[in-house]
Chain A
Amino acid sequence: MNSLLKVENLQMHYFTSKGAVRAIDDLSFELMRGETIGLVGESGCGKTSLGTSILRMPTPPGRYVSGKILVDGVDVIPLPEKEVRRNIRWQKISMVFQGAMNCLTPVYTIGRQMMETLNEHSDLSRSDAESLIAEYLGLVGLSPEIVQRYPHELSGGMKQRAVIATALFLKPEIIILDEPTTALDVIVQAQIINLLKKLKQQFSLSFIFITHDLALEAEISDRICVMYAGKIVELGSNAQIYGTQSPKHPYTERLLAATPRLFKKVEQLQFIPGTPPDLIAPPKGCRFSPRCNKAFDRCFQEEPPLIEIEPGHMSACWLHHRG
């Protein structure tokens, strides 16, 4: 497996009137060819910011501060917008945005909205574009005649399928999926996950799968990247996070304990008291320390580095440095 995308010490801040919000703060990871990496964490931890940053479109007032995003070894941050549009966005990396299925405009047909993407990013003739749309609708399990339908005539699952088809058009290698099933019912969610697995096989895609749901992440992600307050706190394989060994970082551990499980009835479901920190002025030391039940002196003073605690398993916690 070779590396497809490499994020190096990325910092992306939102420059607001109250100060810089450090949404992505010195974050590094690598995505391999054919791999699915899961980004998981509470709302506001920077998952979506990371997604849009990789697509080279941080939401204003967000700006890159430092670091690199290497796609096939080329840093995309300094590239001119025109270049990104022609060669990167949708050609190499596409994204299924959060709630995308609810952002389809109600006044245009599905076909016209899909056509718009093709017009923007390719030079296909109209008839070629139409046959391509029909082909991709078939791939995601929709009948080609829905091009004439309006969004309100389709169910949530059908709209999400259409949005996924649109992300696939230009044969990207990487697809960023931001909460692609959050607004859907469990059965439809399972159907969409099955579809994504099939597409991944068929087109040898790599996914960045963003969700707040650790249980869902277990279904699809080869590696799980747990984020807290703009940083990676733990990164490990599916087995390292969900296997018998249980996760190593207290945050992951407690997030997992807060996930209700259908077949394991517990008397008291756990929760994490408090709220994530203000990213304009994050707490000194470990950012999780104010909410952590295992925190000790050092945690409040110094920030723990992300270190490899076993092959392929990274975690940022001072507990690993104690004997």
Chain B
Amino acid sequence: MTDTILSVKNLKKYFEPHQSFAQSIAGSGQKKLIKAIDGISFDIRRGEIFGLIGESGCGKTTTGKLVMKLLEPTSGQMFFNGEDVTHLDKEKLKEYRRKVQMIFQDPYASMNPRFKIKDVLEEPLIIHKVKGTIEERTRMIVKALEEVKLTPPDEFMGRWPHMLSGGQRQRVATARTLILNPMMLVADEPVSMIDLSTRAEILHMMRDVQKELGLSYLYITHDLSTARYFTDRIAVMYLGRIVEIGRADDIIDNPLHPYTQALIEAVPEPATGKIDIIKELPIYGEIPSPANIPQGCRFHTRCPYATDACKNEPEPELTPDGEEHYHACRRAYEIQAERKRKQAV
């Protein structure tokens, strides 16, 4: 047993764009591949909450789907619990999915409205052919509901999804994953559709469950503020690559990549005195298409610090900065010095 539960090595996922019949017989040049994931590597440790952060279109959801094995990678490798899980046959895949479960973003769409909560929770047991009498299954359902603090469980088992609030639904969604005793959960924006007043409640619950059962989480989000609060380590993604990775506090307090810096500066803080200020964002424009990834450093088109080298030379790899903190920017230290100078003025 190692202390790594999931290890992703140089994973790539390219999509072929749709071509019309006419285009395919005309053979109109080469197809432009959509490079959704363009070589990412990371490890998730046992009992760790690992955050994947970035804007829409950066590939974070595709990464989640690859980890869930809902998509086959184009190349690269994935190891789970020491085993190569890059390509699995049907039997092995089912076994894998039992160990790695997913919580979806939309608690209103992820549950069959014609299933009572009891049925929602029993379904995974049926799909995975978990043997047991009705009493045993009911006991498992009660236990799962108790784990997510939906008490008294008897009362909730007979309810329909529409009778629950968004927060309660997300608890049911979590209970549904727990019923199969998974080792890891993939949570793709689990609280983004939940009211702010109860968001923290769901995150608390997820963390309590994680600690109690020793689970690992892959937490996918665009929200840096909850990520800082909820995760142990963060990987920041941009256009299919990880540009910075490190402990959550290091990433927020000492960001080294200019993209991370821009993300942080864009986050609104509930403090007064900002109404008349036009915020200066250290980033240009919007994210380019993954079908058209810029040459050199893929961030150079939006980076206010980019030089000719960033445009013309090969893309920088992740390089370490002290303990556990890696960044992919060739000018990281110059930029840091420049920012400090600016802040001093």
**A positions within 8 Å CB-CB of B:** 36, 42-43, 155-158, 185-191, 193-194, 197-198, 212-222, 238-239, 241-243, 254-256, 258-263, 265-266, 268-273, 275
Contact partner, B268, options A36, A215, A239, Cβ 8 Å: A215
Can you report 26 residue pairs joining A to B where beta carbons are below 8 Å apart?
A42-B197, A155-B286, A156-B56, A158-B286, A185-B222, A186-B55, A186-B267, A187-B266, A188-B55, A189-B268, A190-B268, A190-B281, A197-B276, A212-B195, A212-B196, A213-B196, A222-B275, A238-B273, A256-B270, A261-B225, A263-B252, A263-B269, A265-B229, A269-B229, A271-B197, A273-B201
| Number of residue pairs spanning A and B whose beta carbons lie under 8 angstroms apart | 131
The answer to whether residues A259 and B196 also contact, given A156-B56, A190-B279, A275-B165 and a CB cut-off of 8 A, is yes
A17 CA to B207 CA, complexed, in Å: 41
C-beta contact mask, B243-268 vs A, less than 8 Å → 1, else 0? 00000010010000000001111111
Query: What is the CB-to-nearest-CB distance from B180 to chain A, in angstroms, rounded to a whole number?
Result: 28
A249 and B272 alpha carbons, distance in the complex (Å): 18
Chain B residues with CB under 8 A of A218: 268-272, 274
Given A271-B204, A272-B197, A272-B198; A266-B229 close (CB under 8 Å): yes
Is B270 within 8 A of A215, CB to CB? yes
CA A262 – CA B263 in complex, angstroms?
11
Q: Given A258-B196, A260-B223, list of 17 further CB < 8 A pairs?
A: A186-B223, A190-B265, A190-B279, A193-B279, A215-B268, A215-B269, A216-B268, A218-B272, A222-B275, A241-B272, A255-B196, A259-B270, A260-B225, A262-B252, A269-B200, A269-B229, A270-B200
Interface residues as binary, B74-101 with A (CB distance below 8 Å gives 1, 0 otherwise):
0000000000000000000000000000
User: Is the CB–CB distance between B263 and A187 below 8 Å?
Assistant: yes
Query: Using Cβ atoms and an 8 Å threshold, which residues of chain B touch A219?
Result: 268, 274-275, 279
User: How far apart are the CA atoms of A155 and B287 in the complex, in Å?
Assistant: 9
Tell me the nearest residue of chain A to B168, going by C-beta: A275
Complex: how many Å from CA A263 to CA B56? 23
Assess whether A271 is in contact with B270, with CB atoms less than 8 Å apart.
no
Provide the bound-state CA to CA distance between A291 and B263, in Å: 35
Give the interface residue-count category, chain B: 35 or more
In the docked arrangement, what's the CA distance between A270 and B268, Å?
19
Is A186 a contact of B263 with CB atoms below 8 Å?
A: yes
Asked if B270 and A214 make an inter-chain contact with CB atoms under 8 angstroms apart, the answer reads yes
Selected contact of A238 from candidates B224, B266, B272, CB within 8 Å: B272
How far is B228's CA from A219's CA once the two chains are assembled, in angstroms?
21
Which chain A residues border B278 with CB–CB below 8 Å?
194, 197-198
In the bound complex, residues from chain A placing their C-beta under 8 Å from that of B223 are 186, 260
Q: Complex Cα distance A261/B200, Å?
A: 12
Question: Counting CB contacts under 8 A, is B209 at the interface?
Answer: no
Q: Flag if A190 contacts B225 (CB, 8 Å).
A: no
- Contacts known (A218-B270, A219-B274); A271 close to B198, Cβ less than 8 A: yes
B10 CB-CB contact with A under 8 Å: no
Q: Do B200 and A42 touch across chains, with their CB atoms under 8 A apart?
A: no
B41 within 8 A of A: no
A217 to B197, CA, bound (A): 16
B199 near A: Cβ within 8 Å?
A: yes
**B226 close to chain A: CB less than 8 A:** yes
Q: Which residue of A lies closest to B54 (CB)?
A: A185
Q: Which 3 A-B pairs have the closest CB atoms?
A: A260-B225, A271-B200, A269-B200
How far is A271 from B207 in the complex, measured between Cα atoms in Å? 15
User: Which among A194, A213, A243, A262 is the interface contact of B228 at CB below 8 angstroms?
Assistant: A262
| Known contacts A186-B263, A255-B196, A269-B204; A261 and B275 CB within 8 A of each other | no
Contact partner, B266, options A189, A259, A270, Cβ 8 Å: A189
Q: Do B199 and A187 have beta carbons less than 8 Å apart?
A: no
Residue of A nearest to B198 (CB): A271
Partner of A242, one of B249, B264, B271: B271
Contact of B306 with A by CB under 8 A: no
Please report the C-alpha to C-alpha distance between residue A193 and residue B268 in the assembled complex, in whole angstroms: 10
Residues in B with CB closer than 8 Å to A238 are: 272-273, 275
Docked complex: B147-185 residues within 8 A CB-CB of A = 165, 167
CB of B283 closer than 8 Å to a CB of A: yes
> Which residues of the partner chain B approach A193 to less than 8 Å between Cβ atoms?
268, 279
Residues of B within 8 A of A255 (CB): 196-197
CB of A92, distance to nearest CB on chain B (Å): 24
Instruction: Assess whether A42 is in contact with B196, with CB atoms less than 8 Å apart.
Output: yes
